[in-house]
Amino acid sequence: MREKLRARWDSLVQKLSRRIPRLSRAWRVVRNLLCIPLTVYLIWLFAGGNPLSPQWAFRREETLDMVGPSEILCEARYRYYYSTDYIWFLGETEGGYTSMSCSRSGGFLGGWSGQLAYWPRGEEVTMVVREGTVNQDVYEAAWVYLLGDASDAVRAEVDIHFQQSGHLNDRPYDFDRVYTVECTRNEEGILCGLLAPTDQSEDLWTATLEESVLADLFHYRYKVPVTVRLYGEKDELLLQTSFEYRCADPE
Amino acid sequence: MDNISWGSWTRRVSAHIKFKPDRLPVEEELLAHLEDNAETLMKGGMPCRDAEAQALAAMGDADEVGRALAAVHKPWLGYLWLWSRRVLILCIVVLLFSAFGVAGRLPLVPLEQDPDVAEWYEEKEHYTVTRISPKCRDESDGFTFTVPQAQLVHNETYHIVYESEGKTYTDTVEENYSIYLILEASRWLPMADGFSAFRHFYAVDDQGNRYPGFFEENNENVGKCLVGNQQQSDLWHSRYDAWIRELDPEAKWVELCYDRDGRDVRLRIDLTGGEGA
């Protein structure tokens, strides 16, 4: 039975390959070695074509968003609660800054993806904000980056004014608070600081309100008044400027 | 000499070949040669046993033949061929599996078969549709931009009367001009996720109006704007089904623009002419 099947298989292979020109073993090796990378490329493409490294994903989003290419100024890693690891890039282009949080996509072959944000260069200072640990409802922290030509500045203070009124869970609120973020130079030499909720009360409603108001920082529909003060080595004020901050793109 | 001796002779020859998968085919081929030679001798009247012995003797010394064959059957080439074939077969199997997921993203359906806005409006009262054939084209960053379809839609002022809970209500739809269009980006490199910069296009017209793009400030609160939905067409084409709301009726042309980060893409659509649907 097995021999019969084998004979039939051989005859089928012979029949099918009769018209294919016979190649020497060396040429068959060459053919196979050329076909393998082509097939691997097609597999990658068919599997979604997700970039296989975070840098590649960042560069591809720049291409598809038609900004850049940028010079990478900063790269940060953070974790979304206990699951997804994110790699955040901050780049500088001719006309502004790009940022993107990349995470591994699921599915066949995986890969990295994310959504790029483009921040046009501000007149004196450009403020870029990165998420700390955030989900759709809960805001926990935000990293504030100050970019510009003020290389003399060793530290900065950023006043962010949140003012909002409305209803949360059927309770009215009138939120009006200024948060001051202390920024110092990080490893890459960029002024950056952490903005975190300050409410220490155990009242869940108050905590949720603060988190949801602060989360406006990440929504492109909202504008938040900001004042930036840059200080020199002797703690002298180098620059004070005010502007309205608006998130570059939806998340 | 009998067939068993042929077998031991061929095995001795093939033992010199280092690439083991080649040994059996070589043995089979040598046996076939021996059989052919013996048959020829037997046809000439030689007894079977003598013919077999002579055929074997004619093949020469087993070790000498084996060394000659070993020089031809290089082991590195043999193993390279074997493994490259195995890897290629594995790749093809994986490719076939992965191909199922992308059938919709291959250019199997011609792009011209996209739904036509005019067909939807021609059934409706109070609406007039004019098809335009924009010839505009621009390039940037390796992308080619075109507007394959555009339709100018005009509605006169009309009233909608409806009843609810015993009461009669009347809604007024004001006169409005809008343009529905398809903006296409194409390039020879695949765009797996589509061209995401579409949402940063905006429009201007010859009357000095600006129609802000999807993510521009307050575009939800103003009537005049360029909005749309990104449609991934295939790996090499990406489309944006867009419309400009509250188009100025005096406008002779409207221009789709992209100018972020030093770029300057402009696609001017001539609004004069065209044919009614």
Chain B residues whose CB is inside 8 A of the A61 CB are 196
Closest CB from A32, A63, A113 relative to B84: A32
Q: How far apart are CA B13 and CA B192, in angstroms?
A: 56
Query: Which residue of A39, A100, A102 is the best one to mutate when testing the B interface, meaning the one whose CB has the most B CBs within 10 A?
Result: A39
> B91-101 as b/e, with b when 16 or more CB fall inside 10 Å?
beebbeebeee
Least confident of A28-42, A130-144, A187-201, B21-35: A130-144
d(CA A216, CA A164): 10
Q: Which of A89, A51, A53 shows the shortest CA–CA distance to A71?
A: A89
Angle at A176 between CA A171 and CA A179, to 5 degrees: 125
Inspect the interface and report whether the beta carbons of B260 and A49 lie closer than 8 Å: no
Q: What are the structure tokens assigned to B233, written together?
A: 């067409």
pLDDT in 10s for each residue of chain B, 277 residues: 445 588 899 999 999 999 999 999 999 999 999 999 999 999 988 898 899 899 999 998 999 999 999 998 999 999 999 999 999 999 998 888 777 655 555 554 444 545 566 677 767 788 888 888 888 999 999 999 999 989 998 888 989 888 888 889 999 888 889 999 999 999 988 787 789 899 899 999 999 999 988 777 655 556 788 988 888 777 788 999 999 989 999 999 999 999 999 999 999 999 987 655 4
Q: What is the pLDDT of residues A109-130, one digit of tens each?
A: 678 888 899 998 988 899 999 8
Least confident of A81-90, A144-153, A160-169: A81-90
Chain B: closest CA distance from residue A165 (Å) = 19
* pLDDT digit string, tens, across residues B177-231: 999 999 999 998 878 778 989 989 999 999 999 998 877 765 555 678 898 888 8
Which residues from A are below 8 Å from B194, CB to CB? 64
- Mean pLDDT of all residues in A206-226: 85
Q: Would the CB atoms of A43 and B98 count as touching at under 8 Å?
A: yes
Taking the CA of residue B72 and the nearest CA in chain A, the distance in Å comes to: 11
A17-26, A215-224, B93-102, B161-170, range with the lowest pLDDT:
B93-102
Q: How far is B26 from chain A (nearest CA, A)?
A: 15
Using an 8 Å Cβ cutoff, are B34 and B53 in contact? no
Please give the average per-residue pLDDT across A30-42, as a whole number.
93
